[in-house]
Amino acid sequence: MRGRRARATPRIERAGQWLFEAHVKREPFAPLPAELAPSDMGEAYAIQSQYVGRLAETRGPVVGYKIALTTPAMRAMVGLNDSIAGDMLESTIHRGSGTRVRAADYGRLIVEFEVGFEMGEDLPAVDAPFTRERVARSVAAAMPALELADDRNADYARLKENALMLAADNAWNEGAVLGMAVRDWKGINLAALTGTASINGKTVGEGFGRDVLGHPLDAMTWIANHLASRGLGLWRGDVVITGSLVTSKFPKAGDVVRFEAGALGAVELAVE
Please return the burial class of 5, using the count of CB atoms within 10 Å of its CB with bins 0-12, 13-18 and 19+. Answer: middle
Q: Residue 137: phi, psi to the nearest 5?
A: -65, -25
What mean pLDDT is predicted for residues 216-229? 98
According to the model, what pLDDT value does residue 1 have? 38
pLDDT at 77: 86
Per this entry, what is the length of the chain? 272
Distances (CA, A) of 26 to 96, 106, 173, 230, 247: 28, 8, 15, 30, 25
Residue 124 β-bridge partners = none
Q: In whole angstroms, what is the distance from residue 177 CA to residue 173 CA?
A: 12
CATH H-level, domain 61-271: superfamily:
Fumarylacetoacetase-like, C-terminal domain (3.90.850.10)
Residue range 3-7: mean pLDDT, rounded: 56
pLDDT of 5 above 90:
no
Structural contact between residues 147 and 112, judged by C-beta atoms closer than 8 angstroms: yes
**What 3-state class would DSSP assign to 18?**
helix
Average pLDDT over residues 16-44: 96
* For the chain, domain boundaries: 61-271
Question: Are β-strands 194-199 and 202-208 bridged in parallel, bridged antiparallel, or unpaired?
Answer: antiparallel
Give 143-161 pLDDT, tens digit per residue.
999 999 999 999 999 999 9
List, in sequence order, every beta strand (DSSP E) within 151-201: 173-178, 194-199
**Has residue 3 got a pLDDT over 90?**
no
CB atoms under 10 Å from CB of 130, counted, come to: 20
| Pairwise CA distance, residues 137 & 205, whole Å | 31
Would you state the torsion angle of the CA atoms of residues 211, 40, 56, 270, taken in this order, to the nearest 10 degrees?
A: -30
Q: Which helix (H) or strand (E) holds 246?
A: none
Q: Dump pLDDT digits (tens) for 83-113.
A: 999 999 999 999 987 899 999 999 999 999 9
Model confidence band, residue 6 (pLDDT cutoffs 50, 70, 90): low
What Cα–Cα distance (Å) separates residue 127 from each residue in 12, 111, 189, 224, 242?
Answer: 29, 34, 27, 10, 21
